Structure 1
Amino acid sequence: MPRRTATLLASILMLIALLCAGVLIPVPYSEMSPGPTVNTLGDHDGEPVLQISQRKTYPTTGHLNMTTVRVTGPDYRMNLFEAVYGWLDHDNAVVPHKTLYPEGQTAEQADQENAEEFSQSQESAKAAALRQLHLPVAAQTVVGSVVKDKPADGRLHAGDVIKAVDGTAVKQTGDVAKLVTRHKPGEKVVFSIIPAKEAAAAEKRGKKPQAGAKQVTIATQKADDGRAIVGIQAGVDHIFPFPIDVKLADVGGPSAGLMFALGIVDKLTPGDMTGGKFVAGTGTIDDKGKVGPIGGISMKTVGARDKGAEFFLTPKDNCATAAKDIPQGLTLVKVGTIGDAVKALEKIRKGDTAGLPSCSPAGRS
């Protein structure tokens, strides 16, 4: 065989081997891309996203869109070609797999965590919205979760209201851990609780549960750091003066909190907050209305602009990153609280956009 032919054949075989390797060899990366965006003022799958009953609501126009990021699943194994394509695609991002999914986390665990964060973000959004409108919101400490195979497993349940520990009234979530860790490992602790079923029934009536408390005695266990534990995570449950439901499936995580809260405020407020404009945004929100940063901000601005958004409400801690690559025609509006967002929407409605607080890259004002 002539040398030139042999060299060509060897090159072809090496190319084939490289192509096979690129397709068959997995790499430890995941991909993020712009996901769906949903108007919190509108309908989704045939029903209103925000449903408020037993309270007067007002017509709304325009958009207050929550935004999402689409990510490859925890069990998906990206190959080299997909990773390279993702790196070259301006609108997508390829990140280390462990950035999105801690080592050892299963698909079921990831889904459960996202669902819990999404549920909590809804509750915080409702509380923040009502407090912004100076409407009453009551809070109570509950069992947020129970760790499997720990002393509380089977004795306490998620949603149980914790009234007292060892006879001392619980006024906030941090009280539970303080009271339990006063014990030495192995000692017993007494919880005064109202079971979740009875608590839920009272909540439907807009009331705090008062009667029906029962005593549950649990032996503590030694934690890795030597503290006494029973294996629960305390949480906060709110009592709202009227029902507010968020009807949006197949979405997870906490980042829609701000936009849910604004949608609730708009529906409960006379007038029109957006002035008919297309506003999108993102951001976690706590019970007091503070807006927190989220991941995948660049994916969300792209997704919002592709759907027609003119303004994007951006958590202040995400501003520097978002401002590095602003989609053409989109104005990034910096917000730190729900109050900031309401004021920004007022300016947008009035057309006073020159006075909007804008995002700038790091190092610039």
Structure 2
Amino acid sequence: MIGTVLDATDPPLDDDEQPAPRPLSPRAVTLTTSLLAGATLLAVLVVLPTPYAVNSPGPTRDVLGEHDGTPMIEISGAETHDSTGELRLTTVSSTGGPGYPSSILGVLSGWFSASSVVLPVEQVYPPDVSQEQIDESNQAEMVSSQEDATVAALTELGYEVPATLLVAGTVEGTDAAGKLEENDVLVGFEGEPLPDYQSLVDDLAAVQPGDTVTLTVQRHGQDVDVPVVTSEREGGGAQIGVLIDPTFDMPVDVTISIDDIGGPSAGTMFALGIIDKLTPEDEADGEVIAGTGTMDVTGAVGPIGGIRQKLAGAERDGADWFLAPARNCDEVVGHVPDGLRVVRVATLHDARVAMEAIGAGEADDLPTCTQDAATPSPTAG
């Protein structure tokens, strides 16, 4: 008899009458042990840190909208206007930095993802730098980019933005080294006043490298004229070899609220958002336009990192258009997601023209990254 069949009316068996459990076979023991060991090893591998950094598409934010109930751009001192479109800044999500190691599972996922990139951690994060230091640096760059974007946007709209042009240092090897001093204040160029940064940019644009110009500086309460031989800057144009730390007197108060994103690469989209809000036209007119690019006070759009991840994030979040820095075009070609159209921009004016053309449905002739990229305008200095 193999077992005992109990009827519902039969009394229960005593403990010593219960059938003995069948012992596990050696094969079953081996299989169970192997499964437990494999599960334990897998759990360890999932969380085990690796010497790699993984960059993936991060969140996007509409600079014309709100984040956590707060408008991303608030303006006072001027009339503002609503928009029916979206202007989305784009980001990159990264693991592998101090305190946020990449797991083996994350690295494997990155290797098999077309929109992620896996790099040795030392190529992404400098050694002996804490996460706190990285966060502080990213936040400082974000704050600076917001100010530069505001100045560039207001200047693009025709506002005068007065500035105090403080000399923070000079470039080694230029004629200005040894002539201009730290904490000098630039107040004149060839006998004409310098009321703002744009005036210095315009004055330098009319100078050829090798020309001698006379700078007027305030030094210890006195005006001093300093002749300086200009030199050629990288990218073309003349430079005076001076590092300038400007302080701006904004004619319009602009507050940008974004606490969970750092770095300077949102400058172009912030500048476009300010322009959109301060103009009565509905430039985007219902279109979803994403983009990236640093922005300096002269309106030059600078290159950024992670362009491929940002393209993927833009497409994922519903953008139909993407504004890409001209100097990132070599990384864009061949990596544009289906359904996303990329427009090449080198200046804020380029980006504004593109935004208006897209909203008006007249974007067919906008420059793309498959065409020869224009050289971005040089900056003052």
TM-score, scaled to structure 2: 0.67
The offset of 1:27, in angstroms, is 2.5
Q: 1:279 to 1:234 in 2, by over 3 A?
A: same
Q: Pick the structure with greater CA Rg.
A: 2
Where structure 1 has 5 or more consecutive residues not aligned to the other structure, the ranges are: 1-7, 142-161, 163-169, 184-188, 194-212, 215-232
Match of 1:123 in 2: 147
The offset of 1:237, in angstroms, is 2.5
Match of 1:320 in 2: 330
The offset of 1:239, in angstroms, is 1.4
Regions of 4+ moved over 3 Å: 11-26, 173-183, 189-193
Report Cα offsets for 1:178-233 as digits up to 9, x if no partner. 999749xxxxx99689xxxxxxxxxxxxxxxxxxx99xxxxxxxxxxxxxxxxxx9
Stretch of structure 1 that moved more, 110-119 or 341-350? 341-350
Report Cα offsets for 1:234-273 as digits up to 9, x if no partner. 6332211121110111110000000000010111112111
Q: Is the aligned partner of 1:67 residue 2:90? A: yes
Q: 1:291 aligns with which of 298, 301, 308?
A: 301
Calculate percent identity across the aligned residue pairs.
Answer: 41
Q: 1:17 to 1:35 in 2, by over 3 A?
A: closer
Q: Is the aligned partner of 1:82 residue 2:106? A: yes
Conserved? CA contact 2:47–2:103, under 8 Å: yes
Higher helix share: 1
SS of 2:290's partner is strand
The one-letter code matched in structure 2 to 1:45 is D
Where structure 2 has 5 or more consecutive residues not aligned to the other structure, the ranges are: 1-30, 186-219, 222-242, 374-381
Q: Distance in 1 between matches of 2:182 and 2:120?
A: 45
Match of 1:39 in 2: 62
Q: 1:16 to 1:293 in 2, by over 3 A?
A: same
Q: 1:95 aligns with which of 111, 115, 119?
A: 119
The one-letter code matched in structure 1 to 2:337 is P
The offset of 1:319, in angstroms, is 1.8
Conserved? CA contact 2:170–2:177, under 8 Å: no
Conserved? CA contact 2:56–2:110, under 8 Å: no
Conserved? CA contact 1:323–1:332, under 8 Å: no
TM-score, scaled to structure 1: 0.69
Q: 1:79 to 1:288 in 2, by over 3 A?
A: same
Match of 1:261 in 2: 271
The one-letter code matched in structure 2 to 1:58 is H
Conserved? CA contact 2:145–2:295, under 8 Å: yes
The offset of 1:14, in angstroms, is 11
Question: Between Structure 1 and Structure 2, how many residues are aligned?
Answer: 290
Match of 2:319 in 1: 309
Q: How does 1:122-271 map to 2 (within 5 A)?
A: 122-141=146-165, 170=167, 173-174=168-169, 182=178, 235-271=245-281
Q: Is the aligned partner of 1:352 residue 2:362? A: yes
Q: Distance in 1 between matches of 2:68 and 2:313?
A: 19
SS of 2:310's partner is helix
Conserved? CA contact 1:320–1:362, under 8 Å: no
Q: 1:20 to 1:66 in 2, by over 3 A?
A: closer
Q: Distance in 1 between matches of 2:256 and 2:43?
A: 47
